[in-house]
Amino acid sequence: MDYTAEQIEVLGDIEAVRKRPGMYIGGVGIRGLHHLLWEIVDNSIDEALAGYCKNITVILHKDGSASVEDDGRGIPTEMHELGKPAVEIVLTKLHAGGKFGKKAYRVAGGLHGVGLSVVNALSEWLEVEVRRNGKVYYQKYSRGLPLTPLRVVGKSDETGTKIRFKPDEEIFESTEFRKDIVAQRLKELAYLNKGIRLKLIDERSGEEEEFCSEEGIKGYVERLNRNKPRLHDVIYFSGERNGIIVEVAIQFTDTEIENILYFANNINTIEGGTHAVGFRAGLTRAINEFGKKYVKKFKPLSGADVREGLTAVVSVKVPDPQF
């Protein structure tokens, strides 16, 4: 079998995503399907973290599509130097977005310039509506490619973005969104971003839920421990250094169960990270130093002993996360 220059293929951005979707969303099962929705929701949350968005609405439509609408600044619609509207560039080009520098977003989650174009590529169709500059802009796509040019369809004094998409049955094993999974994630985001209002509408069942927490992760820990014997009130503290924001809420329970959740830019870092290592080491050191100073005949405790019965949420907001 020959191996020559003729065997070297160069795929376009959209074609590459559709050929190897698992590289971008982790798979084509139920987890990958919901990852599409998370990418769009994360964009709205990033607008909230930047101080421009207070309300996010997620709708699970009867036709199998889903939509996310926010009241942020709206994706830019002006012409880009590549000769197309900026919103079209964001929807069709990998590594195109406003999150690489720090001019538009101080911190951000998601796939940094990849998420929205990946959602577009893996959707049977996608519609984008932008309220910006006193106008309402609209464009429709099919499997990553524009069906219509960006056009003005109305006027509006408000700002924001609405993305509606239908996952492609040619790609995914199942295209049915699960309300319980979506509700859990939105509830989580409400605790991690206090004051932001997230609404979930399931048109299939007619159910509606709204999530908003004024207490943030402190309320999250209280919810996690609502059915456990608690030894004290939730301890909460926060701080910022070198542009990194840290929030910690802890509460010990009269159980042997350790339940610590770690988040970086609203993303649950299940595999840990430097913030997890730092929290565990700092907590163990603080408890042992206190014991040595105030407890007679104190014997140092191991990290596992210190964390027995502990429920905690650790959330960091980092300008340049390494996922």
Residue-range domain boundaries for the chain: 5-211, 217-317
> Tell me, what's the pLDDT at 38?
94
Q: Does residue 56 come out as left (phi exceeding 0), alpha (psi in the -120 to 50 range) or beta?
A: beta
Low-confidence ranges of the chain (pLDDT < 50): 100-101, 104, 111-113
> Tell me, what's the pLDDT at 121?
95
CATH number of the domain at 217-317, out of 3.40.50.720, 3.90.1150.200, 1.10.1740.10, 3.30.230.10?
A: 3.30.230.10
> Tell me, what's the pLDDT at 113?
45
> Tell me, what's the pLDDT at 31?
94
CB 75 within 8 A of CB 87: yes
> Tell me, what's the pLDDT at 109?
56
> Tell me, what's the pLDDT at 108?
53
CB 53 within 8 A of CB 44: yes
- Relative to beta strand 123-132, strand 135-142 is antiparallel
Q: What pairs with residue 303 in β-bridges? A: none
> Tell me, what's the pLDDT at 11?
62
- Look up the CATH number of domain 5-211: 3.30.565.10
> Tell me, what's the pLDDT at 175?
96
Global model pTM greater than 0.85: yes
> Tell me, what's the pLDDT at 111?
46
Tell me the three state secondary structure of residue 23.
Answer: helix
